[in-house]
Structure 1
């Protein structure tokens, strides 16, 4: 499970907290931003046990969004069986315009801001205790590509995403919660760097901390994984959390969150040479290593934990 850069949400609720040895007094705009969502239940008169139950139910419902279709199909079946035909037709008529507006093929989608920014989503962020660190503000007039590490179990879908996961599916199976080595696949992943150069888009190295504590993952043999990928064209990923796919809360003293690094300047170059490509790639790898080294302690990683780039 991996977080995405919701710039509007961050700016709307921006809480600046100085990070030692990183804040520049000369340029407050470029000062690091440390964001932790406000407590949803703060000041609530509901008893703690009821807050806990409501939070658990909310997380269960939202995380299992792919199962929402089942009750709606059952409702349609019930209405048809009991001859509520007009009700069925009315429901279809109400939904049909949104189905035919073509928003699935655009980056805009059917945005519902009042729902998207509703405070109830703080229940989810409080559940995991998420922390977001942005090392430097970005220029809205520039183009960017965010490189995410490591690859999560569930990531963004197609259409106009500004993020790439260089490690790909094989990186998922390298997750080992108890290992001191945090392995990512990057050394030979040059495609996203070439893409950035061809479009003149600055690269933003991004590291997600604490993912490895959220789910249990069963890794079958390599032969089985390769067979399923080649035959069905999908990865064989068997994972579970609490109550099916609800994520586990991070262990005591550990934190789940994401760090957006400083953008790496990229000049427009439609036909980069191998030397130019590898030079930029080397710079990017060094920045990813620095992100892990500089921020691992803030997320509860042990001092002797290392990042291994393969």
Structure 2
């Protein structure tokens, strides 16, 4: 089944440098898209090339805690290697387990960024997102930016500009459920007509170079802000260096919201 998922779009992984297994890593995958297709494809490492590209690493994908509220589903997710986005889960994987070669994958923009997921748009919810940087400092895990080209092209979404009635309603629902009620269309089950399935558009996940992080149990706001800015710059450089290889027009700029 995971092979079919990887081949459907297809999802492909592109590495820019090695990630030695003697360290731990926190990978930020951008953009979130509607449902994080690229992040899930990267997580299916034996079918999309992560294991081959980065041998010796053990990968966990963070998803919202609400996904673990339901019996049986929860057990299946945990057995598959998914963990929730809580501080405790991330720190256990990257520090308290005592293992090296651990990787936590996080879609930093979260459900809020799903509301920005429109074909051809490259906008990231980043300015207020500093928790992942703090976790990297607390655990000493290297920060790694990754960009999923084609993520936002898999679904069409009803226009919902900031300030519109629809966006206000979506924001209200998200505030109380942590989920974004997007109105989307893809392709049908048996034809190319509109339906709930994502469109078969290539998704290319480019994984950047690691940013070395010095472990600190009590990071200051200034330390977090400095590392956050470095991460911004590295992610923007990764996008600029690779965008034309995957069909993004030269004049397109990455937006940080």
- TM-score normalised over the length of structure 2: 0.66
Give the direction of change, closer, same or farther, for the CA distance of 1:260–1:228 in structure 2 (3 Å limit).
Answer: same
Alpha-carbon distance between aligned partners in 2 of 1:284 and 1:233, rounded to the nearest angstrom:
25
Match of 1:168 among 90, 103, 110: 110
Give the direction of change, closer, same or farther, for the CA distance of 1:188–1:226 in structure 2 (3 Å limit).
Answer: closer
- Given that 2:32 and 2:114 are in contact with CA atoms closer than 8 Å, whether structure 1 keeps it comes out as yes
Q: Greater strand percent: which structure?
A: 2
The alpha-carbon deviation at position 264 of structure 1 amounts to 0.4
The alpha-carbon deviation at position 164 of structure 1 amounts to 1.6
Q: CA RMSD in A?
A: 2.1
Alpha-carbon distance between aligned partners in 2 of 1:212 and 1:281, rounded to the nearest angstrom:
24
Alpha-carbon distance between aligned partners in 2 of 1:168 and 1:256, rounded to the nearest angstrom:
18
Deviations 1:15-40 (A, max 9, x none): xxxxxxxxxxxxxxxxxxxxxxxxxx
Matched, 1:177 2:122: no
Partner in structure 2 of residue 278 of structure 1: 225
Give the direction of change, closer, same or farther, for the CA distance of 1:268–1:299 in structure 2 (3 Å limit).
Answer: same
Give the direction of change, closer, same or farther, for the CA distance of 1:198–1:183 in structure 2 (3 Å limit).
Answer: same
Bigger relative contact order (CA 8 A; separation at least 6):
2
Partner in structure 2 of residue 96 of structure 1: none
Matched, 1:269 2:216: yes
Give the direction of change, closer, same or farther, for the CA distance of 1:221–1:127 in structure 2 (3 Å limit).
Answer: same
- Given that 2:26 and 2:141 are in contact with CA atoms closer than 8 Å, whether structure 1 keeps it comes out as yes
- Given that 2:34 and 2:152 are in contact with CA atoms closer than 8 Å, whether structure 1 keeps it comes out as no
Give the direction of change, closer, same or farther, for the CA distance of 1:272–1:137 in structure 2 (3 Å limit).
Answer: same
Give the direction of change, closer, same or farther, for the CA distance of 1:229–1:129 in structure 2 (3 Å limit).
Answer: closer
Partner in structure 2 of residue 249 of structure 1: 200
The alpha-carbon deviation at position 178 of structure 1 amounts to 4.0
Partner in structure 1 of residue 169 of structure 2: 224
Matched, 1:186 2:126: yes
1:82-231 aligned at under 5 Å gives the runs 121=3, 123-155=4-36, 157=63, 159=83, 162-179=104-121, 182-218=122-158, 219=160, 221-231=166-176
Alpha-carbon distance between aligned partners in 1 of 2:134 and 2:212, rounded to the nearest angstrom:
13
Partner in structure 1 of residue 234 of structure 2: 287
Partner in structure 2 of residue 112 of structure 1: none
Alpha-carbon distance between aligned partners in 1 of 2:243 and 2:116, rounded to the nearest angstrom:
18
Alpha-carbon distance between aligned partners in 2 of 1:228 and 1:239, rounded to the nearest angstrom:
16
Bigger mean CA deviation after superposition, 155-164 or 294-303? 155-164
Deviations 1:209-260 (A, max 9, x none): 011211112346122112222344532122221113322123xxxx421011
Partner in structure 2 of residue 238 of structure 1: 183
Give the direction of change, closer, same or farther, for the CA distance of 1:294–1:233 in structure 2 (3 Å limit).
Answer: closer
Deviations 1:60-87 (A, max 9, x none): xx6xxxxxxxxxxxxxxxxxxxxxxxxx
- Given that 2:35 and 2:114 are in contact with CA atoms closer than 8 Å, whether structure 1 keeps it comes out as no
Secondary structure in 1 matching 2:254: strand
Alpha-carbon distance between aligned partners in 1 of 2:5 and 2:176, rounded to the nearest angstrom:
37
Q: How many pairs align?
A: 185
